[in-house]
């Protein structure tokens, strides 16, 4: 399966990272039972809707940051050995810091339960203040 897949299976490494290309991540998890949700980045209201659709959130999702954190920390309706959110075309806006905080909190919650949770931002230009998931060769 490869080193990238091994990393994505490690709950201790759960968190929020940058990746250069989405295909590397998709190839790494292909054939696994991990949930991979591709999310088109947008302004807050649309972004929350995109995340909800990508992960099939229940109807009770409140479409605010607290509700997002509640849903991301639960995911009982999408039972899986691990979760990868792949944010496409991200940009830094007024809500970016709040989103990162919610994602980091969710990753910590899942790591405490020994289940991997990764939020990956496709950022080949390296414009976002995020660590790289892995070093490019």
CATH of the domain at 9: 3.30.370.10
Total domains present in the chain: 1
> Could you list the residue range(s) of the whole structural domain that residue 31 is in?
3-122
Gap between the Cα atoms of 135 and 123, Å rounded: 14
Contact 20, 128 (CB under 8 A): no
132 in a structural domain: no
- Burial pattern 5-27, b for ≥16 Cβ within 10 A else e, equals beebbebeebbbbbbbebebbee
Gap between the Cα atoms of 31 and 96, Å rounded: 32
| C-alpha dihedral, 36 to 42 to 48 to 51, nearest 10° | -10
86 in a structural domain: yes
Per-residue pLDDT of the chain (137 residues), as tens digits, is: 589 999 999 999 999 999 999 999 999 999 999 999 999 999 999 999 999 999 999 999 999 999 999 999 999 999 999 999 999 999 999 999 999 999 999 999 999 999 999 999 999 999 999 999 987 65
The region that residue 93 occupies, defined by phi over 0 for left and psi between -120 and 50 for alpha, beta otherwise, is beta
129 in a structural domain: no
């Amino acid at each position: 399966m490869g080193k990238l897949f091994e990393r994505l299976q490690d709950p201790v490494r759960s968190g929020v990272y940058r990746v250069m290309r989405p295909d590397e991540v998709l190839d790494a998890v292909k054939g696994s039972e991990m949930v991979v949700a591709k999310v088109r980045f947008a302004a807050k209201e649309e972004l929350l809707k995109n995340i909800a659709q990508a992960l099939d959130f229940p109807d009770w999702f409140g479409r605010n940051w607290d509700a997002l954190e509640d849903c991301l920390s639960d995911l009982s309706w999408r039972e899986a050995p691990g979760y990868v959110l792949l944010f496409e075309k991200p940009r830094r806006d007024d809500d970016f810091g709040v989103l990162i905080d919610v994602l980091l909190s969710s990753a910590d919650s899942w790591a405490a339960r020994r289940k991997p949770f990764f939020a990956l931002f496709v950022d080949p230009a390296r414009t976002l203040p995020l660590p790289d998931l892995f070093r490019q060769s």
